[in-house]
Structure 1
């Protein structure tokens, strides 16, 4: 039986951006899936045309949707997520719903107190207006270039924006920003669980949206767990790393790590 792999996208990027990873993983014998968030349409264009379908979706609802996908699989999946998708794979792994997880520039889980200025600036298109918590918000090309495309040529950033950007619900950003002041924050993750699968955290040194310091802070939160948690940093990459021209080294490194873990 082929091992399933579920790819989970983050805010503002459509799940179709995972297709190169899916093709590569299928070549290595995995069964791959990249379901969108609740409210996503099958294409970028259709998702852009109906942003109201994404409005108000939060971390708990998104996590529950992927838990249902996992429940229908014939075997425990490997979970690979980017940005808020990286936060979600940590939540699922902490619930015992995955065999292993890779979180690429993962959104901040509860307990992280590091808030770099670039992260604040990346979130301003949403967080600057409280009403956005109940809305879906699209980035402008300029905002995308700062949040995602700062480590690639401007022409490529514009191409990535046109190809993959979609509206994103504002709620997850508000939930993450207030998590340390909330007893039942939906971004909380069980970082002490000992009997979970291995976790790899990938950080990007030039990432504005989830700076490497935030990923390092996440790694430290797992210090109390006996389960495998590893951290790797790509010094010259930005937040677009999983779907820009340099996606393949990350994907191949992920495959190698999974092989070392016995998957």
Structure 2
């Protein structure tokens, strides 16, 4: 296996209801391995999570649509000297898939990815977790903010209570219901028949909001035989995979996968 990466630049793509600080551990890990790393914030989400929560429910974050968030990363990548590796979590995984479709990146890793349009599975925990975020009977002019109980169930299940609270305090942020609903729109459409840069799906075995079955269905939709599309399920990982005690092991797995592409 080669130790030379396919590219030495990584752009981390944040998921919904959190800030880009969710990548701090992974960013430090890959920087120590010689990568140049970036974790751009979503529009109106540059401030610390506690400050963003104080703006809820009338935060400017409510203005964001999926296309607005994708454009942030498209523009950021366009000013880089080379096509980067992109690593996204949750909603960020969907954005990874959309960027691969644009032929904008060297490789992509979609961790516990939100699915593109048309990828569905029957799963009660998914419905219970996602339905509140859609805010179907509330104004799109206001933001959604998960309660701590919702956070415990959908995102941080299996973590010690102290860690659940710590990550909520440090990371939980209001989210645009327009952006979440965008995953059900044509803005989230993927042409699974197209050739694409190498793509790795990582699924959490204990993930309730983006369960492994959904990640497998997402992976299986890709049909271009000449493109690398890999899948790995990580037992015991909840949706808070990036901050679980196993995060370093998981980051090292991604690093090895990237090195093997060279």
TM-score for the superposition, normalised by structure 2: 0.92
- Which residue number in structure 2 is paired with residue 108 of structure 1? 115
After superposition, the Cα gap between the structure-2 partners of 1:130 and 1:174, relative to the gap in structure 1 and judged at 3 Å, is farther
33, 44, 47: which is aligned to 2:49? Answer: 44
Deviation, 1:155, is 2.4
The question of 1:16 aligning with 2:24 is answered no
The question of 1:59 aligning with 2:66 is answered yes
2:9, 2:261 → 1: CA distance?
Answer: 15
Deviation, 1:74, is 1.1
2:251, 2:117 → 1: CA distance?
Answer: 27
Deviation, 1:29, is 1.0
- Which residue number in structure 2 is paired with residue 98 of structure 1? 105
Q: Summarize deviations over 1:26-73 as a string: whole Å, max 9, x none.
A: 111110000111111232233223341210312111111100000111
After superposition, the Cα gap between the structure-2 partners of 1:6 and 1:132, relative to the gap in structure 1 and judged at 3 Å, is farther
Q: Which runs of 5+ in 2 are unaligned?
A: 1-6
Q: Which runs of 5+ in 1 are unaligned?
A: 180-184
Bigger mean CA deviation after superposition, 42-51 or 27-36: 42-51
1:133, 1:212 → 2: CA distance?
Answer: 30
Asked if structure 2 preserves the Cα contact closer than 8 Å seen for 1:191 and 1:225, the reply is no
The question of 1:234 aligning with 2:231 is answered no
Deviation, 1:249, is 1.2
Q: Secondary structure at the match of 2:119?
A: coil
Asked if structure 1 preserves the Cα contact closer than 8 Å seen for 2:66 and 2:180, the reply is no
1:133, 1:222 → 2: CA distance?
Answer: 33
Bigger mean CA deviation after superposition, 11-20 or 84-93: 11-20
Q: Secondary structure at the match of 1:130?
A: coil
The question of 1:252 aligning with 2:257 is answered no
Asked if structure 1 preserves the Cα contact closer than 8 Å seen for 2:50 and 2:170, the reply is no
1:95, 1:219 → 2: CA distance?
Answer: 18
1:128, 1:75 → 2: CA distance?
Answer: 39
Aligned length: 254
The question of 1:151 aligning with 2:152 is answered no
1:100, 1:117 → 2: CA distance?
Answer: 32
Deviation, 1:132, is 4.5
2:166, 2:261 → 1: CA distance?
Answer: 36
